[in-house]
Chain A
Amino acid sequence: MTARPAANARLLLHIDWTACDGRGLCTEILPELLGRDEWGYPIAPGHGSDVPVPDRLAPAAEEAVALCPRLALSLRRRD
């Protein structure tokens, strides 16, 4: 979580909180985007369920979506 996600990002990483179990894989793959709260759940300061993904992190975000053990992540195009 060194840099704030770009405000003009075209992709949003959507977190389905009903599915998320805080296993931590996404926070390892996207450390610049997601931290872990004190209960182990992913957290992006300033954002809730939809986290803007800078273009350079798009491949990593796709990997996180593919590897989430709970299928809790999806990528959405920002309107």
Chain B
Amino acid sequence: MNEALWALGRGTGVVALALFTVSVLLGILTRSGRPLLGLPRFSVALVHRNVSILATVFIAIHLLTLLGDSFAQLRVIDFFVPFLGAVKPVWLGLGTVAVDLLVAVMVTSLLRRYVGRRVFRAVHWLTYAMWPFALAHSIGNGTDASQSWFIAFAAACSAAVIAAVGWRLTRGFVEYQGIRQAAAPDRPVRARRNP
């Protein structure tokens, strides 16, 4: 039983990192306002949301299975308060920080309509901190971190996220950006139709 919980804890952690990576990529694509090949913009946004929810479910299983595992020596407080862990407290704490940020991002996303655009947006920016915390936790705590397949996986995820963030920082990232800047270099174009 203990072995099973441990295996499930490891597996769900790796899958969650993969899903979070996909979610970050789709989130950046959503922000650009561009469709993905044949996938329309609203589908990109929906897949972004659903992949994030799925990743959160995997993280919930990751926490619960490792709570039941005797090697990890987890306590419930380690889910929320970082750096108190019995085993590798610093690496575990990075995962705890990622969970805290995940909870904040998910709650404000699901309650977007109630917290408003500003709060949603401000908290959503924390994703850019959450993902590196999760990656560092997987490398520092992961049982498979020294395996070559995991190193290749972590490197691929990192390369993808770095490339997407790099793209986000380029000038032509947002659809219509060039036309809008040419039309009104100093003022946001959206003000033009205000009654």
Contact = CB atoms under 8 A, between A and B. Distances in A.
A45 interface: no
A21 B190 contact: yes
A67 B195 contact: no
A13 B175 CA distance: 24
Contacts, number: 57
The bracket for how many chain A residues form the interface is: 20 to 34
B149 to A, nearest CB: 36
A4 to B, nearest CB: 20
The DSSP consensus for interface residues of chain A is loop
B33 A23 contact: yes
A24 B41 CA distance: 7
B33 A71 contact: no
B179 A19 contact: no
B42 A25 contact: yes
Interface in B67-126: 112-113, 116-117, 120
B45 interface: yes
Given A17-B190, A18-B190, A48-B193, 8 more contacts: A21-B33, A22-B190, A28-B41, A38-B179, A40-B33, A40-B175, A41-B190, A67-B42
The 10 closest A-B pairs by CB, nearest first: A40-B176, A23-B33, A25-B42, A71-B117, A28-B40, A25-B41, A67-B42, A39-B189, A39-B180, A24-B41
